[in-house]
Amino acid sequence: MFLAAASADVLRPATILKQSQDISADGSYSYSYETENGIYHSENGAPVATDARSAPVIVTNGQYQYTSPDGTPVRVTYVADQNGFQPQGEHIPAVPLLIQRALEYIRTHPQPEPEQ
């Protein structure tokens, strides 16, 4: 009986308590929302030039939080840029040091381009 009630609650749409958004002519933006069931998300971003030859990339910073099914609060902060999506949170395992070193080696020792 309890399981059915919990499942029904999960399927019920949550009311949005707060919501804001701002989009600027320069391409920057920000938005946030909060729902009655404890979900919160905010993000801001802007185009950033990475070098003179490439088009700008949208660099975003944000955070979201919610409560997991077992009642644990989950909070994630993130950056998304030319290096991809980079989340951080207590529940996200850290990359082992050996892997970090291997990635740094690969980054600093690129393979030569094949001759054509």
- 105 is a domain residue: no
**10-residue stretch averages of pLDDT, the chain, 116 residues long:** 43 91 96 95 94 87 94 94 92 90 92 82
Report pLDDT for 113. 83
Q: What is the pTM of this model?
A: 0.70
Print the domain residue range for 21.
16-91
Report pLDDT for 7. 40
- 110 is a domain residue: no
Report pLDDT for 3. 39
What is the rounded distance in angstroms from the CA atom of residue 27 to the CA atom of residue 48?
A: 10
- 32 is a domain residue: yes
Report pLDDT for 10. 63
Residue 116, both tokens: 């054509």
Report pLDDT for 9. 59
Report pLDDT for 52. 75
- 51 is a domain residue: yes
Structural domains in the chain (count): 1
- 102 is a domain residue: no
